[in-house]
Chain A
Amino acid sequence: MTAGPVASVVVQSYHLTVRDLRNSLRQPSYVLAALIQPIAWLLLFGKLLGPLLEHGSADGSYLAFLTPGIVAMTAVFSSGWAGMGIVAEMEHGTLNRFLITPVPRGALVTGRLTQQAVVVLGQTLIVLAFGLALGARFSGGVLILVVFFACVLLGALSVAALSNALGLVTRRHQRVLSVGQFLLLPLAFLSEIFVPRDVMPGWMRAVATVNPVNWVVEVGREATRGDVGWAGVLDRTFALLALTAACAWLSAMAFRHYQRQV
């Protein structure tokens, strides 16, 4: 062995990530959906809800208000189907083939998650670019923007890890899809993605407070303000970190469960 265990995980994750990204790029329908969907959401929801809610953000433009919300929504939804990739890997026999090689088991998980992170990062940049072009402004400075990106990735990785766990346990595309939809749609709508907190009914506000998707949105909203409320941002960031760790642990458990069933 030439590399230490940690270096080996990093190197092999890199190879597996490159392979996943290359495979994704070869599927035009996937690429189109991943790029066009967030833009469509931004424009559709902007036009649909804009006239009703033209008071959301500091400068009064609904699109500016919506942009961080759509970033969070895109990240979470595109990660919600991550488990489909694991199921496809089982069906192709590639997962078992990888397991027979000396590749560190961790790299099989981190490779997939890194690929997801790269995709989400790309989607985030596209939504932000469109948002900026349509009038969104991020007045909070570079630091809060970086923290927002980190929170988007943490949210995406939590969901992706859970979806992977679901794929490993159920081994069915249909299950991954339906459970993902069942959980993510309500989480998206019970948040401040589309509407400001003050127009929500009381119970919905209570749900939004403990909704991780909303934590990402809240951090994003702070990035649009001139005066960033750092205390709240740090709370949300650490909460997302803890959630990601918990989901990663669940994912690792699911992986062990799969290996026992082979």
Chain B
Amino acid sequence: MSFDSLAIDVKDLTKIYPGAVRAVDGVSFTVQSGTVFGLLGPNGAGKSTIIKILTTLSRPGGGSVRVAGVDVVAEPGPARRMIGCVAQQSGVDPIATGRENLTLQGRLYGLGGRRLRTQVDDLLERFGLSEYADRPARACNGGMRRRLDVAMGLVHEPHVLFLDEPTTGLDPETRKELWAEIFGMAAVGITVVLSTHYLEEAEELADTLGILDRGKLVAMGTPAELKREMHGDALRVELVEPPGEARVRSALSCLEGVCDIVVAGSGLSARIDPGTATAPVVLAALESAGVRVVSLTLSPPTIDDVYSRHAGRLLCGMPEARR
């Protein structure tokens, strides 16, 4: 594998915090140059820790990390020049102006002179920050501040940009604007690593997704691949009255291709494979067990289903029901 095409190469990454907390536990993945990689997972899954290690902020306990071909542990200096980062917490200096924030950021990368001035002006323009260029950043609202954060991450034209939950707390409009920016970056060849707990965002933006749970990478692939792996469709049945759960289970559990049966109130959900062929069988079985049906919907797997399957423990609070 050549470094030209691999922007990130992580092998057996481990991080143990004091108190023996395994924040990251044997994670391996690669990211192709110019693509968007999404790290998806519940809070505390290890997303931020992985980003901190990849951006040289935190040192790994074990494993190897290469960014743009550079070993970030052995050569943090050269690695830092390749990397831009927008941390989960804003890094904007609230007392300094937008221009000052951007200029200092450029200086810290050794830029200066006319080149830096032009670069700062361009970024202010591109991110719609001209109005705040010469006002203290604390005057910015959350969306503006986030845009300034992203602009600061780009001032030295990094090869790889890390965005740790970049749209958390933003209104939908600002979020969409930021998405457009992220697409734009990938289009000009910048590799983007994005962590998020918004499923829609991950599916929309990421070429490849990694799902993290408790420090382990539990699934990885393109959104389409991940959905295909779900085997079959989600079935939802609306019943006339709440059925006895035991009755429903005994009617359905013997059927082939039916799993993940959940009964809640007068609703019933299950995963069936193959979808269209199995649905009539389920209906017939329910009828013969005396369970009356109001409606039935069948939907192809969504990224929500994928997520619930791999990391759903924290989402639905039902330890085994969805597995």
Do the two chains belong together in a single complex?
A: yes
Q: Is A29 an interface residue (CB 8 A)?
A: no
Contacts of B100 in A (CB 8 A): 19, 22
18 A-B pairs whose Cβ atoms sit less than 8 Å apart in the complex: A2-B110, A3-B110, A12-B107, A12-B108, A22-B96, A26-B95, A93-B87, A93-B89, A93-B91, A93-B92, A94-B92, A96-B57, A98-B108, A100-B56, A100-B80, A100-B87, A101-B80, A260-B59
B108 touches A103 (CB 8 A): yes
- The A contact surface, by secondary structure, is helix
Interface residues on B, range: 20 to 34
> Which of A2, A92, A102 is in CB contact (< 8 Å) with B91?
A92
Contact pattern, B 49-63, Cβ under 8 Å of A = 1, otherwise 0 = 000100111110000
- A75-118 contacts to B (CB < 8 Å): 92-94, 96-103
- B97-124 contacts to A (CB < 8 Å): 100, 104-105, 107-110
> Which of B52, B77, B93 is in CB contact (< 8 Å) with A92?
B93
Q: Is B90 an interface residue (CB 8 A)?
A: yes
Q: Is A1 an interface residue (CB 8 A)?
A: yes
Q: Please give the residue numbers on chain A whose beta carbons come within 8 Å of chain B beta carbons, in ascending order.
A: 1-3, 8, 12, 15-16, 19, 22-23, 26-27, 92-94, 96-103, 259-260, 262
B85 touches A100 (CB 8 A): yes
A94 touches B52 (CB 8 A): no
A93 touches B90 (CB 8 A): yes
A203 vs B59: C-alpha distance in the bound complex, in angstroms?
50
B108 touches A262 (CB 8 A): no
A101 vs B94: C-alpha distance in the bound complex, in angstroms?
19
Q: Is B136 an interface residue (CB 8 A)?
A: yes
A262 vs B89: C-alpha distance in the bound complex, in angstroms?
13
A102 touches B87 (CB 8 A): no
Q: Is B36 an interface residue (CB 8 A)?
A: no
In the complex with contacts A93-B87, A96-B87, A101-B95 CB distance below 8 A = no
Measured CB to CB, the nearest residue on chain B to A26 is B95
Q: Is B152 an interface residue (CB 8 A)?
A: yes
A97 vs B83: C-alpha distance in the bound complex, in angstroms?
12
Q: Is B81 an interface residue (CB 8 A)?
A: yes
Most-contacted residue by chain B among A3, A16, A99 (CB, 10 A): A99
In the complex with contacts A22-B96, A94-B93, A101-B105 CB distance below 8 A = yes
Contact pattern, B 244-255, Cβ under 8 Å of A = 1, otherwise 0 = 000000000000
Contacts of A16 in B (CB 8 A): 104
Contacts of A97 in B (CB 8 A): 85, 87, 91, 105, 152
Contacts of B94 in A (CB 8 A): 92
